[in-house]
A and B are shown apart, each in its own frame.
Chain A
Amino acid sequence: MSSEKQYIDLYSEARQMILDHSSAPLNAVRDQAFEDFKAQGFPNRKVERYKYTNMQELFAPDYGLNLNRLEIPVDPYEAFKCDVPNLSTSLYFVVNDAFYAKALPKVTLPEGVIIDSLNRVATEKPEFIAKYYAKIAKTNEDAITALNTMLAQDGLFVYVPKNTKVDRAVQVINILRSDVDLMINRRVLIVLEEGAEAKFLFCDHAADDRNFLSTQVIEAYVGENASLELNCLEETHYKNVRVSNVYIDQQANSRVNHNVITLHNGTTRNMLNLVFKGEGAECHCNGCVIADKSQHVDNNTLIDHQVGHCDSNVLYKYVLNDKAVGAFAGKVLVRKDAQKTTSQETNQNLCSTKEARMYTQPMLEIYADDVKCNHGSTVGQLNDAAMFYMQQRGISVEEAKLLLEFAFINEVIDNMELEPLRDRLHHLVEMRFRGQLNKCEGCKLCK
């Protein structure tokens, strides 16, 4: 039996239940998503963008779903205290896929800014949400997006009105919490109007030692002159499967800084589709992966230059140990009218053991002539001369290795704009390399 059958059956049987516990704009696209999912099925490895991760296998196990929206008892502050010090973020929680409204931060947001449950806003202002929901995350183009759209009932909604700046970074903790194996379909919708500015940090944490399968679709609309920083940090465990599809639309002169950090996980696939819709926009997409044991991390990016005068920068770095599998496939697509495009795509990888595997595929597809596009990719080991130099100065092999690996990853972290977050990540990465923790410090769970 192929994996899609159980999801098709589930939707056919539980359709009404799903509809009852969700709002009109989310329900409006559900049936179409179902049709699209049925038509596509899970991508097999012959589908170019899913070459390196076996979706059929990941979605085959039988997970429970919380379609009735039962409240899962959790006190996020008790379960989790992953506060990035000095960052003084506005801290929000999403438990599985439900926005946790009981513990809102005591900050006053600038006027007009909304950070709330997607489902609640959709119930109150259906027309407003319908304008944006499932518009750039097209269900007929990706089966996982279709599946998510078909099942998603809640998530996070962010709205920043024109020329408004949200000074405090918004930290959203996604807590995976369940007593049974659970599938989660989370949805995030971010709308930044013209000239708006906001910074986000999404942290994924698993609170229970259960098998989790989460699909996540983030749609972000970045208006003219707007600026968005979107950081995603995954710090879960080896039983966690995460499939995340991020869609970003950039209007003229906007700026996006998107960072994906994977420290601990089971199987992760992150997909980014970023489209330049207005001239003069720029994006920086960075990723770092530190993987060991049998972690599997697959990052897939597509930067679509539809108009000219845009600048894209992609930098992904992997450090692989034990039997970890890393994959990076990045495509920069420069369309015919996108003259004066500049693009730089870099992927560098360290393989430290014989069993570690790295697949890399940096691609350029260019239809305009007045462009400057580069990409580079390397797979290798630490520099012997550097290792020798350090040992000469009395630094042990382990310590030297750690220092060099740390320096290697640092380039990615240094691209992040939030300084306290950078400091924090330096610390986390160092701890990660030392193998000392499996959770962020300050998290009560690991104590």
Chain B
Amino acid sequence: MAQINQNEFVKEVADKKYEYGFTTDVQTDVIPKGLNEDVVRLISKKKGEPEWLLDFRLKAFRYWQTLPVPKWGHVHVPEIDFQEISYYADPMAKKPANKEIDPELEKTFDKLGIPLEERLALSGTAVDAIMDSVSVKTTFKEKLAEKGIIFSSIGEAVKNHPDLVRQYLGSVVPYRDNFSAALNSAVFSDGSFVYIPKGVRCPMELSSYFRINARNTGQFERTLIVADDDSYVSYLEGCTAPMRDENQLHAAVVEIVVNDNAEVKYSTVQNWYPGDENGKGGVLNLVTKRGDLRGVNSKLSWTQVETGSAITWKYPSCILRGDNSVAEFYSVAVTNHHQEADTGTKMIHMGKNTKSTIISKGISAGYSQNSYRGLVRATSNADNARNYSSCDSLLLGSNCGAHTFPYMDIHNDTAIVEHEATTSKISEDQLFYCNQRGIPTEEAVGLIVNGYAKDVLNKLPMEFAVEAQKLLSVSLEGTVG
């Protein structure tokens, strides 16, 4: 009996449409498809960049050309024709003369729940809204500037604070880092730039909202966050894309620099279009995210809720360079239908008395493949390094896969590293217990899954936690067999 109910419910959930799949009819200035040095120069020119940045892009582009497409992940990235993608799309180019933003765009972001009018915004969150290759608006910029905080699109930052950008850009993720980082360095468009000066505690949550709209484009945003000594910032990132039959490429780079005694919290709710139930379309999410904990007593915390994208292949990482630095990684990755995720983290312990924690929860349903891949390395100088990793996987249905690939390289005798992982399905005892108390199976499953992910969801800022919980219930509830 319960089996039948579950199956119906599974079908219902499976049929549920992606909520953010609409497109915005806005005149967008898209440069022709293709990638060559001229395109790189054109992007740089459109953004009015200085010579040094163009050089950086060209160097990256030339290096990228020498690289083979990586194949090592537990994902099946379809053959990407890099000449079939347009690398720059500007929805702002043809805005009405008397308006700051095209009303259509404003409506789009309203619909996504991201009001760009400051008076309407949730109190305490400043937003940098980015569509395709261009930052549409950054709210509360002035208010933040009073405290000396710089929060703007990276394009603007290059113009207004060239020295700061030049100092830090590519210092955490060099363009030679990997295939997609090299590509991003060559063609990156807007992302956010955040600088928190010494001793400042950012009074509000900063957030970026990324939206892919135009057809046949990719998004290559670049985010750079610098937290100077004794500062604190919490940064949120959200993303959606329209439903399209073809795959769209998202190859972003996020660099975070954390100086002495500073703390950065970076939270992501990733909800790119995952493709339809047959695995057609969807965003290819190939992202390089890395934090460099340069200062003593610095702290960086990554929290991610990954529910979207046809393919997610990313490892938000931490380099614990400063003594006593602390890094955390909390992740919930949900895959359904034909989604594939290969995600995890790298914790490179270099300083003394460094600590890292990894909590990863994978949930796979449908025909999806969900992998955790993580590296913990303690170098020979990393005395008293301490790591705890826990990776749990939940399998909902017999056609999906859950995999764990942890790597530990320990070169220090005082390091203590622990890893544990479990893979299981929802326990029948727990379901029975709930049923017994009058909770229907589908609700019970939702309850158990939410409880399972609680460790991670609790780490999200309030506004995001609500969204994430909603997302989880949509992506999952009842998908259990």
List residues of chain A with CB under 8 Å of any chain B CB. Answer: 48, 336, 339, 349, 351-381
* Contacting pair B405 A367 (CB below 8 A): no
Docked-complex contact B409 and A375, CB < 8 angstroms? no
Interface-facing stretch out of B24-32, B99-107, B391-399: B391-399
B481 interface contact, C-beta 8 A = yes
CB within 8 Å for A375 and B416 given contacts A336-B398, A361-B407, A366-B395: no
Q: A360-B410, A366-B423, A370-B425 are in contact. List 18 more A-B contacts (CB 8 A).
A: A357-B410, A361-B406, A363-B403, A363-B404, A364-B423, A366-B395, A366-B402, A366-B403, A367-B400, A368-B398, A369-B395, A371-B395, A373-B423, A374-B422, A379-B415, A380-B416, A381-B413, A381-B414
Determine the residue in chain B with the shortest Cβ distance to A363: B405
**Whole-angstrom distance between the alpha carbons of A354 and B396 in the complex?**
44
- Chain B residues in 8 Å Cβ range of A48: 72
CB < 8 Å neighbour of A377 from B406, B424, B425 = B406
Contact B414 A372 (CB under 8 A): no
Cβ-based interface call for B380 (8 A): yes
CB neighbours (8 Å) of A361 from chain B are 405-408
| Cross-interface CB contact of B481 among A351, A369, A373, A381, cutoff 8 Å | A369
**A351 with B413: in contact, given A362-B419, A369-B481, A372-B424 (CB under 8 Å)?**
yes
- Residue B351 interfacial (CB < 8 Å): no
Are A375 and B404 in contact, CB atoms less than 8 angstroms apart? Answer: yes
The smallest C-beta distance from B364 to any residue of chain A, in angstroms, reads 9
CA distance A359 to B406 in the complex (A): 10
Residues of A within 8 Å of B409, CB to CB, are 357-359
Q: Residues 275-316 of chain B: 1 if any A CB is under 8 Å from the residue's CB, otherwise 0? A: 000000000000000000000000000000000000000000
Interface residues of B (CB under 8 A from A): 72, 74, 380, 393, 395-425, 481
CA distance A284 to B419 in the complex (A): 21
Closest chain-B Cβ to A127's Cβ sits at a distance in Å of: 41
Residue ID in chain B nearest A327 by CB atoms = B409
The reply to whether B413 and A359 contact each other, CB–CB distance below 8 Å, is no
How many A-B residue contacts, CB cutoff 8 Å? 115
What is the chain A residue whose CB lies nearest that of B72?
Answer: A48
B400 contact set on A, CB distance < 8 A: 367, 369
Across the interface, which residues of A come within 8 angstroms of B403, CB to CB?
363-366
CB contacts (< 8 Å) of B419 on chain A: these are: 360, 362, 375-378
* Interface SS majority for chain B: strand
Known A363-B403, A379-B417: A369·B380 in contact at CB below 8 Å: no
Assembly CA distance A369 to B370 (angstroms): 13
Measured between alpha carbons, how far is A174 from B260 in the docked complex, in Å?
59
Q: How far is the CA of A362 from the CA of B376 in the complex (A)?
A: 13
Instruction: Name A367's closest neighbour in chain B (CB-CB).
Output: B401
Among A349, A359, A379, the most chain B Cβ lie within 10 Å of the Cβ of A379
- What residues on B are CB-neighbors of A376 within 8 Å? 418-421
Q: Judge whether A378 and B422 touch: CB under 8 Å.
A: no
Q: Are A358 and B420 in contact (CB under 8 A)?
A: no
CB distance from B471 to the nearest CB of A (A): 22
CB distance from B430 to the nearest CB of A (A): 14
Please report the C-alpha to C-alpha distance between residue A367 and residue B370 in the assembled complex, in whole angstroms.
10
Once the chains are docked, how many angstroms separate the CA of A368 from the CA of B399? 7
Q: Which of A339, A369, A378 contacts B396 (CB 8 A)?
A: A369
Q: Which residues of B contact A363 (CB under 8 A)?
A: 403-406
- CB contact under 8 A between A374 and B398, given known A358-B408, A361-B408: no
Q: Is the CB of A354 within 8 A of B399?
A: no
A-B contact pairs, 19 of them (CB 8 A): A48-B72, A354-B380, A357-B411, A361-B405, A361-B407, A362-B421, A363-B406, A365-B401, A366-B395, A369-B398, A371-B395, A371-B423, A373-B423, A375-B404, A375-B419, A376-B418, A377-B417, A378-B416, A381-B416
The interface residues of chain B lying within 8 Å CB-to-CB of A339 are: 398
Which residues of B are found within 8 Å of A379, using beta-carbon distances?
408, 410, 415-417
User: How many whole Å from A351's CB to the nearest CB in chain B?
Assistant: 5
Which residues on the B side are within 8 Å of A381 (C-beta)? 413-414, 416
Q: Are B404 and A364 in contact, with the CB atoms below 8 A?
A: yes
Q: Which residues of A contact B422 (CB under 8 A)?
A: 372-374
A178 vs B403: C-alpha distance when bound (angstroms): 46
Interface centre among A48, A355, A368 (most CB of B within 10 A): A368
- For the complex, what is the distance from the CA of A253 to the CA of B395, rounded to whole Å? 27
Top 6 closest pairs, chain A to chain B, by CB: A369-B395, A380-B416, A376-B420, A364-B404, A377-B419, A373-B423
- Hey, which chain B residues are within 8 Å of A373, CB to CB? 422-424
Known: A356-B413, A363-B406, A366-B423. A378 touches B418 (CB 8 A): yes
Task: Tell me the complex Cα distance, A417–B68, Å.
Answer: 51
Of residues B393, B406, B413, B422, which shows the largest number of chain A Cβ atoms within 10 Å of its Cβ? B413
- List chain A residues, Cβ under 8 A from B395: 366, 368-369, 371
In the bound assembly, the distance between CA atoms of A362 and B391 in angstroms comes to 12
Cα A380 to Cα B386 in complex, Å, equals: 9
User: Closest residue to B414 on the A side, CB-wise?
Assistant: A381
Closest to B398 in A: A369
B408 touches A360 (CB 8 A): yes
With the chains together, A372 CA to B421 CA distance in Å? Answer: 11
Contacts of A360 in B (CB 8 A): 407-408, 410, 419
Shortest Cβ distance from B404 into A: residue:
A364
Most buried by A among B380, B422, B423: B423
Closest to A348 in B: B418
Question: How far does the Cβ of A162 sit from chain B's closest Cβ, in whole Å?
Answer: 36
Contact check, B410 vs A358: say whether CB atoms are below 8 A apart: yes
A351 partner residues in chain B, CB cutoff 8 A: 410, 412-413, 415
Q: Given A336-B399, A369-B396, verify A380-B424 contact (CB < 8 Å).
A: no
Return A331 CB to nearest CB of chain B, in Å: 9
How many angstroms between the C-alpha atoms of A363 and B371 in the bound complex? 10
In the bound assembly, the distance between CA atoms of A371 and B364 in angstroms comes to: 14
Which single member of B397, B407, B421 contacts A374 (CB below 8 Å)?
B421
Distance A369 CA – B409 CA, assembled complex (angstroms): 31
- Shortest distance in angstroms between A212's beta carbon and chain B's nearest beta carbon? 29
Q: What separation, in Å, do the CA atoms of A209 and B405 have in the docked complex? A: 40
Give CA–CA (A336, B397) in the complex, Å: 11
Chain A residue numbers with a CB within 8 Å of B415 are: 351, 379-380
Q: Give the CA-CA distance A31 to B130 in the complex, in Å.
A: 61
Q: Are A371 and B424 in contact (CB under 8 A)?
A: yes
Tell me, in angstroms, the Cα distance from A377 to B416 when the chains sit together. Answer: 11
- Whether B408 contacts A359 by the Cβ 8 Å rule is yes
